[in-house]
């Protein structure tokens, strides 16, 4: 290569073309030395060319044109010679050189390639990748892939649950049961130990694609001296390749005509993703076989979560029905609606100057709605949900342990997971491995790692505080605009006759709520897009060792951001709004001029319930519509733009190219959506017992929508191993622990349950009342304090223009609090009732939390994570595997030693023969 050409390649790192991603030298994967899993091309060696072949007209073929070599991966690029302009010509040439070097490196590593021009677009070229058996054996050993050594003759365990659910599984005539084998990590020199009936079928398509991805992510595309740049992901980002993906085995709605094709995609669509199969159990083994363990584990968790929700939904529905049927008979609701009680109670204005006096019975319907959710059944349901969430997590661990055993991922993290290429690229420091006591290379020193983690934590905290600041900003906006709307909106509606019909509906509260929600939505969307990039940048900077560590670190950051983003408004309504408002004569102000918000007349619990129902319903509907429509519309538009004549036959790899890519974060957003929903179901369930029912309906749709989307609208994902659900497990456990505290706090500080109980047991009888029997009669009058209208300051006194016509000769008004009346020596100070209620709330919090936490601890202790029978089976299988390998090795050793023994025997017999002669 000439010096000028070498300079051209260096310039590529700093040039950017329109619509292209800049390939910056600092972000490239650069290795300072050669990896052990490939061999670089010697300097000066000519780069081999990829074999070109015309499409043979078979649309269902999964093989090269010879019909023998299987396609394990497909790379797509745009032919520069047919699309380059003079302005972009130099960039195109540089791309071509990098691509040719990359493909030459693959062939030098033993990978076979075949290029075919597109049938639809002559500018596109599809490079098909095939992994020969020898290459597969090499990388199966590198990746420690477990492969069968002998059929498993141990009898499978069955349970009563399986006996009930097997009727809902697809027939074994349609989806055959997977054969079970004893397995062991593959070793190339012990090939005879493994169950090899057919060399072409020994490695499954999922294994082949996984190993092909491993090679592609480590093959060099540029070498200058000792500096080597690796990985096709950077080539994808830079536009050198347009796409890279493994192939689906057939069309989702039509069987393949290939005789050996298993048609697994077709089976998954018909028996799993199709709406007609909504009642069927998921074929998890086939999902795992086709998409890999990581996706299989997600759908297993989602299905288990949905099944467990049925119990919570049934109990929550029962609680709701109880509240609905008793709303008309509750004593406090009757007193509010009674014209002789609630109709005679005049309430104080809820803002300064522009808010009028009002009668308590105007909140009759709000009071009835509050009784639906604020009753003793809610307390029982909140405690039940605290136990339910513990049972859910513990039984999921047991089910997950069974899946780990069945899917052979028990020792995955210890044996199979490899280092990330980005981590390997930065390994320049040496340290002594504490386990092996051998020298190994790492990308940073102990001090450097501490600095990276510290910078990451600091950045995360900064962005969390920024999100909290945005929430506070929206609250300040609500306080300021409520006053503005109260003064201007009311006069505008009164002065304009054409707006008279809307006067009843367009209120200052509604206008404030709508505009604040729009602003909050805009802020959330902006922060969503920004802090996703921030979280990825921080995780990249921390440089995790393996992909699992990378995903766990990113998951924790993203969930922390989303937690603050989604739940901050609910925490504000539940625990802050209306808590520190003062009293009518001396209200509490923010920033010196903004009066703090009070709860709605129906109480803050009603507002929290409304907020949760709107968020859960709206989020579920929007997500499902988006997940269905967005990929479908994109694929429809792509097919329309690349429409060809019906006489043209389109090959399998080109059909898959028309589908949507799965995205770099894979299932991250699917997990995040469900975990956020899990938070709504558990954290605030005391205010909304119907949350589990809404979640159940959503999940029944979510399973099929996700299945339909991943089966029909997306390219086939690269199958990945996974032992569990990763960082989502401790996140769920953390949410479960927090849920106990939040629900206890909602019942204690947001609902009226504790004040009612205090009144019933203490203040409805002597010495605080004349009655001798415990009763709820008189609770409403007892819960409202008295304020003398003459004590209003001039700046906050309601104006006479808005004073109601019925407000004549009234000297006092009422407000929600427990304070002494104006005639008391300590007027407007907290009464003994207030301190009794505070003590009862704190006692309730302490007692309930300790009881529930103790119950959770005992359940966790009593339910082992791995069933004892499964532990014994795992030990038994490990023992038998070792015996089989040992016996096979001895047999192989005897076969190797037999010719030597025969020769020795012949040498011994020949001298004896000479002696007799």
Q: Over the stretch 704-717, which tens digit does the pLDDT of each residue have?
A: 999 999 999 999 99
pLDDT of residue 6: 40
- Contact between 179 and 151 (Cβ < 8 Å): yes
pLDDT of residue 370: 84
CB-CB neighbours of 915 under 10 Å: 7
Q: Over the stretch 433-445, which tens digit does the pLDDT of each residue have?
A: 676 667 777 777 7
Residue-by-residue DSSP string for 351-370: SSSSPPPEEGGGGHHHHHHH
Q: Domain limits of the chain?
A: 286-443+543-754
Is residue 706 packed enough to be buried (19+ CB in 10 Å), middle (13-18) or exposed (0-12)?
buried
Confidence band of 606 (pLDDT split at 50, 70, 90): confident
pLDDT of residue 30: 44
Confidence band of 261 (pLDDT split at 50, 70, 90): confident
Residue 760 pLDDT greater than 90, yes or no: no
pLDDT of residue 62: 92
Question: Where are the extended beta strands (E) located within 100-170?
Answer: 112-117, 124-130, 146-151
pLDDT of residue 388: 93
- Contact between 51 and 113 (Cβ < 8 Å): yes
pLDDT of residue 17: 37
Confidence band of 892 (pLDDT split at 50, 70, 90): confident
Rounded-to-integer distance, Cα 843 and Cα 837, Å: 10
Q: Give the length of the chain.
A: 917
Residue (of 209, 214, 246, 206) closest to 232 by Cα position: 214
Is the model more confident about 512 or about 191? 191
Rounded-to-integer distance, Cα 550 and Cα 544, Å: 5
Q: Over the stretch 764-786, which tens digit does the pLDDT of each residue have?
A: 887 777 767 888 888 888 889 99
Average pLDDT over residues 152-178: 68
Least confident of 165-169, 228-232, 270-274: 165-169
Which DSSP helix (H) or strand (E) runs through 469? Answer: helix 446-495
Which among 150-159, 494-503, 887-896 has the top mean pLDDT?
A: 887-896
Residue 431 pLDDT greater than 70, yes or no: yes
Q: What percent of the chain shows pLDDT beyond 90?
A: 23
Residue 14 pLDDT greater than 50, yes or no: no
Which among 246-260, 794-808, 868-882 has the top mean pLDDT?
A: 246-260
pLDDT of residue 823: 86
Which among 22-31, 524-533, 627-636, 682-691 has the top mean pLDDT?
A: 682-691
Residue-by-residue DSSP string for 475-510: HHHHHHHHHHHHHHHHHHHHH-GGGGGGTTT--HHH
Is the model more confident about 505 or about 252? 252
In the block, tokens 């029944």 appear at 700
Residue-by-residue DSSP string for 790-836: GGS-TTTSPPGGG--TT--S--EEEEES-B--TTSTTTTSB-HHHHH
Q: Over the stretch 37-58, which tens digit does the pLDDT of each residue have?
A: 455 566 656 778 888 888 888 8
Show Cβ contacts of residue 837 under 8 Å, excluding neighbours closer than 6 positions. Answer: 754, 755, 758, 818
Tokens of 273: 């993703």
First to last CA, the chain: 75
Residue (of 353, 346, 347) closest to 595 by Cα position: 353
Residue 203 pLDDT greater than 60, yes or no: yes
Mean pLDDT of the chain: 81
Q: Following CA atoms 805, 808, 812, 816 in sequence, which dihedral angle do they give, to the nearest 10 degrees?
A: -20
Local structure of 121: helix, strand or coil: coil
Tokens of 683: 């954290």
Residue (of 553, 565, 533, 564) closest to 457 by Cα position: 553
pLDDT of residue 266: 93
Query: What values do phi and psi take at 649, rounded to 5?
Result: -95, 125
Confidence band of 912 (pLDDT split at 50, 70, 90): low
Confidence band of 573 (pLDDT split at 50, 70, 90): confident
pLDDT of residue 76: 94
Q: Over the stretch 320-343, which tens digit does the pLDDT of each residue have?
A: 999 888 888 888 888 888 888 888
pLDDT of residue 565: 79
pLDDT of residue 167: 67
Confidence band of 32 (pLDDT split at 50, 70, 90): very low
pLDDT of residue 275: 86
Which DSSP helix (H) or strand (E) runs through 382? Answer: helix 376-406
Residue (of 729, 106, 631) closest to 623 by Cα position: 631
Residue 515 pLDDT greater than 80, yes or no: no
Average pLDDT over residues 233-244: 87
Confidence band of 909 (pLDDT split at 50, 70, 90): low
Average pLDDT over residues 569-586: 84
Rounded-to-integer distance, Cα 287 and Cα 304, Å: 15
Average pLDDT over residues 132-159: 82
Confidence band of 521 (pLDDT split at 50, 70, 90): low
Show Cβ contacts of residue 860 under 8 Å, excluding neighbours closer than 6 positions. Answer: 390, 394
Q: Over the stretch 607-655, which tens digit does the pLDDT of each residue have?
A: 788 778 877 777 777 777 777 788 888 778 777 666 655 567 889 999 9
Average pLDDT over residues 419-445: 72
Average pLDDT over residues 417-442: 71
Least confident of 250-254, 457-461, 686-690: 457-461
């Amino acid at each position: 290569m000439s010096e000028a050409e070498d300079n051209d390649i260096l310039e590529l790192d700093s040039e950017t073309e329109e619509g292209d991603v800049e390939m910056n030298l600092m972000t490239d994967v650069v290795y300072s030395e050669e990896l052990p899993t490939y061999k670089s091309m010697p300097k000066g060696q000519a780069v081999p060319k990829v074999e070109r072949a015309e499409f043979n007209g078979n649309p269902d073929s999964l093989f090269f044109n010879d019909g023998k070599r299987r396609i394990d991966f497909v790379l797509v690029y745009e032919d520069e010679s047919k699309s380059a302009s003079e302005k972009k010509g130099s960039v195109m040439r540089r791309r071509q050189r990098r691509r040719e070097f990359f493909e030459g490196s693959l062939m030098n590593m033993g990978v076979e390639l075949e290029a075919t021009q597109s049938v639809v677009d002559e500018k596109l070229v599809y490079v098909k990748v095939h992994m020969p058996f020898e290459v597969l054996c090499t990388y199966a050993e590198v990746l420690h892939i477990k492969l069968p050594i002998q059929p498993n003759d141990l009898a499978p365990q069955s349970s009563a649950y399986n006996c009930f659910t097997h009727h809902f599984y697809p027939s074994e005539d349609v989806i055959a049961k997977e054969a079970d084998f004893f397995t062991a990590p593959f070793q190339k020199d012990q090939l005879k130990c493994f169950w090899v009936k057919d060399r072409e079928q020994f490695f499954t398509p999922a294994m082949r694609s996984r190993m092909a991805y491993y090679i592609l992510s480590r093959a060099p595309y540029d070498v200058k001296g000792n500096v080597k740049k690796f990985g096709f992901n950077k080539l994808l980002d830079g536009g050198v390749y347009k796409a890279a993906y493994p192939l689906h085995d057939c069309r989702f709605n039509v069987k393949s005509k290939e005789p050996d094709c298993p048609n697994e995609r077709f089976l998954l669509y018909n028996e799993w993703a199709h709406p007609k199969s909504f009642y069927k159990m998921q074929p998890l083994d086939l999902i795992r076989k086709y998409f890999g363990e990581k996706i299989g584990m997600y759908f297993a968790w989602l299905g288990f979560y949905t099944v467990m929700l049925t119990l919570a939904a049934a109990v929550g529905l029962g609680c709701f029905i109880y509240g609905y049927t008793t709303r008309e008979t509750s004593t406090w609701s009757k007193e509010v609606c009674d014209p002789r009680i609630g109709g005679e109670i005049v309430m104080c204005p809820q803002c300064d100057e522009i808010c009028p006096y009002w009668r308590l019975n105007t909140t009759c319907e709000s009071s009835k709605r509050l009784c639906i959710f604020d009753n003793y059944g809610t307390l029982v349901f909140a405690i039940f949900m605290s136990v339910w969430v513990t049972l859910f997590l513990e039984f999921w661990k047991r089910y997950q342990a069974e899946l780990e055993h069945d899917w052979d991922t028990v020792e995955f993290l210890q044996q199979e997971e490899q280092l990330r290429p980005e981590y390997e690229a930065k390994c320049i420091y040496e340290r002594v491995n504490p386990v092996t006591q051998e020298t190994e290379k790492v990308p940073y020193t102990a001090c450097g790692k501490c600095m990276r983690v510290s910078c990451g934590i600091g950045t995360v905290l900064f962005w969390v505080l920024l999100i909290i600041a945005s929430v506070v900003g929206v609250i300040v906006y609500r306080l300021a605009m409520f006053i503005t709307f109260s003064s201007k909106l009311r006069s505008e509606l009164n002065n304009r006759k054409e707006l008279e019909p809307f006067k009843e509906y367009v209120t200052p509260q509604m206008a404030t709520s709508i505009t604040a929600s729009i602003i909050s939505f805009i802020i959330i969307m902006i922060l969503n897009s920004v802090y996703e990039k921030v979280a990825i940048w921080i995780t990249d900077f921390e440089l995790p060792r393996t992909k699992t560590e990378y995903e766990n670190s990113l998951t924790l950051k993203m969930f922390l951001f989303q937690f603050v983003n989604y739940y901050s408004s609910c925490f504000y309504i539940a625990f802050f709004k209306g808590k520190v408002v003062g009293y009518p004569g001396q209200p509490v102000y923010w920033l010196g001029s903004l009066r703090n918000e009070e709860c709605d007349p129906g109480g803050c619990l009603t507002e929290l319930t409304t907020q949760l129902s709107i968020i859960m319903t709206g989020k579920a509907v929007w997500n499902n519509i988006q997940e269905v429509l967005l990929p479908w519309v994109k694929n429809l538009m792509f097919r329309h733009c690349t429409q060809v004549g019906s006489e043209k036959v389109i090959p399998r790899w080109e059909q898959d190219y028309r589908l949507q890519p799965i995205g770099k974060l894979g299932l991250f957003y699917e997990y995040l959506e469900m975990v956020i929903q899990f938070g709504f179901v558990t954290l605030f369930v005391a205010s909304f017992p119907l949350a589990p029912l809404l979640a159940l309906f959503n999940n029944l749709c979510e399973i099929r929508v996700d299945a339909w989307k991943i089966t029909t609208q997306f390219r086939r994902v690269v199958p990945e191993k996974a032992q569990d659900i990763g960082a989502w497990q401790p996140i769920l456990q953390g949410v479960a622990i927090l849920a106990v505290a939040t629900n206890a706090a909602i019942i204690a500080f947001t609902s009226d349950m504790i004040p009612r109980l205090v009144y019933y047991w203490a203040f409805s009888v002597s010495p605080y009342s004349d009655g001798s029997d415990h009763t709820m009669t008189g609770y409403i009058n007892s819960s409202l304090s008295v304020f003398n209208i003459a004590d209003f300051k001039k700046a906050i006194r309601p104006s006479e223009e808005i004073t109601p016509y019925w407000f004549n000769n009234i000297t006092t008004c009422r407000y929600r609090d427990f304070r002494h009346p104006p005639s008391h020596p300590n007027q407007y100070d907290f009464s003994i009732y207030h301190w009794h209620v505070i003590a009862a709330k704190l006692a309730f919090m302490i007692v309930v939390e300790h009881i529930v936490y103790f119950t959770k601890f005992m359940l966790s202790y009593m339910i082992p994570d791995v069933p004892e029978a499964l532990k014994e089976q795992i030990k038994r299988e490990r023992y038998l595997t070792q015996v089989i390998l040992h016996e096979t090795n001895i047999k192989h050793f005897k076969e190797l030693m037999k010719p030597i023994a025969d020769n020795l025997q012949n040498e011994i017999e020949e001298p004896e023969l000479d002696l007799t002669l």
